[in-house]
A = this chain, B = another copy of it.
Amino acid sequence: MAADGRQPSTGPEAEQEWLAAYDPRAYTPIAVTVDVVALTLRQGSLHVLLVERGAPPYQGCWALPGGFLRAGEEGLDEAAARELAEETGLHSASEAEVRRCRLHLEQLGTYGAPERDPRMHVVSVAYLAFAPDLPDPQAGTDAAAAAWHPVSDLDLRPHGRSPAAGAPADTHGGGVDGRTGPDPLALAFDHARILADGLDRVRAKLEYSPLATAFLPYDFTIPDLRAVYEAVWDEKLHPGNFHRKVLSVPGFVESTGSTTERGGARGGPRARTYHAGDARQLHPALLRPTRDAVDDAEAR
């Protein structure tokens, strides 16, 4: 129920009294915040928008963008959209993109463990956003301390846990390409967990929803779309089969009738362009291959 009105064993008078006693204003307060896991594709790899914390706790750490829900003024979806716009500078830079629905925003989950913030009990509603490649947040705005980070640079293990304790010792393929940072970035609060949940969600969502198009500009090619799937799933896909499959799913993409101006950077013919169709679900789904290995990993 929204705010409780129960207690059936007594009359309505005691009911009113009990309700008054439960007025949260008189009790330990709870803060409600909205955090956003904003994902985009840059240079073929998945990036997440982070802000640098300027105050303790976790001062200097990177965290998901977010802020308080404005009580009585806005719903959760509005708050998430507002936070994202403030942090990316989207409001001025490319508001047209938002209007064109080139940005997907959905609720991810809510995190409310009492000890997740040392100051007080904070309930955070996390949102997941997919965006096409956006410009860097401009300095001089709210978003000065915000930046896109490659997901592979981040430490997604549970907090502060050493690799030997509990978690499998392998690096999970995050550092095989030898990126710059020797130790992966740790995130503030339980944001590593939230980000990990967001990544699970986006990986699953690409299978049965056409949301991969949200990572691309309005017009795109099938190889562009394949690059999204390959980046999110971290797997190479068979170009021919992917092409056949995408075109066979009704409502996934619609042809524009034209092609790209030039071929690929390393040669190859021009590709036909498409834009997103009107389907909200993919039937049949675009299942990802070699799920058996994933099965084994999850069963452990």
| Contact between chains at B123 and A72 (CB < 8 Å) | no
Residue A261 at the chain B interface, CB threshold 8 Å: no
The stretch among A54-62, A91-99, A172-180, A222-230 that forms the contact with chain B is: A54-62
Shortest CB-to-CB span from A188 to chain B, Å, is: 7
Query: A145 contacts which chain B residues (CB < 8 A)?
Result: 6, 8
| Contact between chains at A123 and B76 (CB < 8 Å) | yes
Number of copies of this chain that the complex holds = 2
Q: Which of B56, B74, B75, B123 interacts with A5 by CB under 8 Å?
A: B56
The stretch among A39-47, A112-120, A237-245 that forms the contact with chain B is: A112-120
The stretch among A153-161, A211-219, A263-271, A291-299 that forms the contact with chain B is: A291-299
| Contact between chains at B251 and A299 (CB < 8 Å) | yes
Q: Which of B6, B12, B191 interacts with A1 by CB under 8 Å?
A: B191
Residue A16 at the chain B interface, CB threshold 8 Å: yes
Q: Give chain A's interface residue range (CB within 8 Å of chain B).
A: 35 or more
Chain A residues 240-274 with CB under 8 Å of chain B are: 250-251
Shortest CB-to-CB span from A189 to chain B, Å, is: 4
Interface of A toward B, CB cutoff 8 Å: 1-9, 12, 15-16, 19, 22, 24-25, 27-33, 35, 51-59, 63-69, 71-76, 107, 109-114, 116-117, 119-125, 140, 142, 144-145, 188-191, 250-251, 278-281, 283-284, 287, 291-292, 295, 298-299
